[in-house]
Structure 1
Amino acid sequence: MKKLSILSLSILPLLFPSLALAHDVAGGNGFMAGFSHPVLGFDHLLAMLSVGVLSAQLGGQAMWKVPTAFVVVMLFGGVLGMAGMQLFSVEQAIAFSVFALGVAIAAAKQAPSIVAMLFVGFFALFHGNAHGLEMPHLSSPELYATGFIIGTAAIHVAGVGIGLVARKFSDGSQLLRYVGAGIAGIGFHLFVM
């Protein structure tokens, strides 16, 4: 129970929406600008962690297939954004992704990898588009894209790690469901504000 409390306390700071929508991120004009966007944007951070946790809940090949699908589709959305093509309602879609991913974690239902890949891929398009649209003017597109890809992948790995560690505890699955509900609540707040 002590380990479960430590795990829940380590996740608790992620449940505060006051840092949400931190899209205007300082961090250089290349790799670091790209890397910092998903890491310092609270809505992006929650969504990326959620993709990792959801992947760990699904288990098996989904642990690498689902995050990989997210990164690939996100890159496509990023290229569209860098080309100046803005998708409709990008910020609302990102906020809704936090809500939907939280609900998926809270539901803890098994789904085929392809369904999970399509689910996260839809949202990845919007996350990538936001990254691309917010590329600093003088940035190298290649360095910037490399930065947001590595930042996103690192957060996915952290989310998978959280999910795997939680599964080792007797109440870990239930804790993840509560965390998912909290994330869904933050996503709902972001969506309606």
Structure 2
Amino acid sequence: MKKLLTATLALAATPALAHHPLGGMPMETFAHGLLSGVGHPVLGFDHLFFVAIVGVAALFTASRFAAPAAYIAAMLAGCGLMYAGIALPMQEAVIALSLLVLGGVVLSGRALGTTAALALFAGFGLFHGSAFGGAIAAQEGGVGGAVLVGYLLGLGVIQYAIAIAAGWVAEKVLGATEASAVNARLAGAVVAGVGLFLTLEAAEGPLLSAAFGV
């Protein structure tokens, strides 16, 4: 567990190189869009941790397969809004908070009701999607329709697969068959810890500015 936490915090301290699966190359084809869509959530540890804990939290709801789809739908909507030039405010801060909140829920050992799970997954999904949308909105001249379709397809498929796989691992490998299971709560603790670190990091600048005018 100590090694896991050390590795987690090391990742958290590393700026998200994340988010550059093509090594900075422009996206010009469907394959480029698909590869970038698949790579962004995997290389971005904050998104990866969140979608994994979505899968674990969904495991203990009445809709373990449908609930993560609410995240995917909202995430794609947020991505589409960003592509259309509508950015959600405070993306990084809300993404950090999403890890803290959902990690804390799983850590608590209490199962979410279906409505609460859908609301949490979808609400935070909009902000994760807005961040993903920045990768295509930032490209000069925009991207073609084929690139956009590939990107959204890659984003949706890989994240849904990660969520379902995380739930399966929690249940079948870690033996977490109910929300109060120790292994499930440990996973929540790790994600909440990363979320706390990122939330404090996001708050540091505004707090220093307010306190010292720097």
Residue equivalent to 2:48: 45
Assess if the C-alpha contact under 8 Å between 2:176 and 2:182 holds in 1: no
Q: 1:169 and 1:89, CA in 2 relative to 1: closer, same or farther beyond 3 A?
A: closer
1: CA distance between counterparts of 2:19 and 2:74?
A: 22
Structure 1: any 5+ residue segments left out of the alignment?
1-7
The total of aligned residue pairs comes to: 182
2: CA distance between counterparts of 1:39 and 1:141?
A: 18
The within-5 A match list for 1:1-150 is 12=4, 16-20=8-12, 21-27=16-22, 29=27, 30-58=33-61, 60=62, 62-135=63-136, 137=139, 138=143, 140-150=147-157
Residue equivalent to 2:163: 156
TM-score, normalised with respect to structure 2: 0.77
Relative contact order (C-alpha < 8 Å, sep 6+): which is higher? 1
Deviation of 1:13 after TM superposition, in Å, equals 7.3
Residue equivalent to 1:5: none
Q: 1:154 and 1:75, CA in 2 relative to 1: closer, same or farther beyond 3 A?
A: same
Larger deviation, residues 14-23 vs 99-108: 14-23
Considering only aligned residues, what root-mean-square deviation do their CA atoms show, in Å? 2.5
Q: 1:48 and 1:183, CA in 2 relative to 1: closer, same or farther beyond 3 A?
A: same
Q: 1:192 and 1:23, CA in 2 relative to 1: closer, same or farther beyond 3 A?
A: same
Deviation of 1:15 after TM superposition, in Å, equals 5.8
Q: 1:78 and 1:94, CA in 2 relative to 1: closer, same or farther beyond 3 A?
A: same
- Select the structure that is richer in helix: 1
* SS of match in other structure, 2:19: coil
Q: 1:38 and 1:14, CA in 2 relative to 1: closer, same or farther beyond 3 A?
A: farther
* SS of match in other structure, 1:88: coil
Residue equivalent to 1:3: none
Check if 1:185 corresponds to 2:193: yes
Deviation of 1:119 after TM superposition, in Å, equals 1.0
Assess if the C-alpha contact under 8 Å between 1:15 and 1:186 holds in 2: no
Percent identical residues: 29
Deviation of 1:54 after TM superposition, in Å, equals 0.5
Q: 1:107 and 1:15, CA in 2 relative to 1: closer, same or farther beyond 3 A?
A: farther
Assess if the C-alpha contact under 8 Å between 2:34 and 2:154 holds in 1: yes
Deviation of 1:14 after TM superposition, in Å, equals 9.4
Structure 2: any 5+ residue segments left out of the alignment?
28-32, 202-214
Larger Rg over CA atoms: 2
2: CA distance between counterparts of 1:103 and 1:15?
A: 20
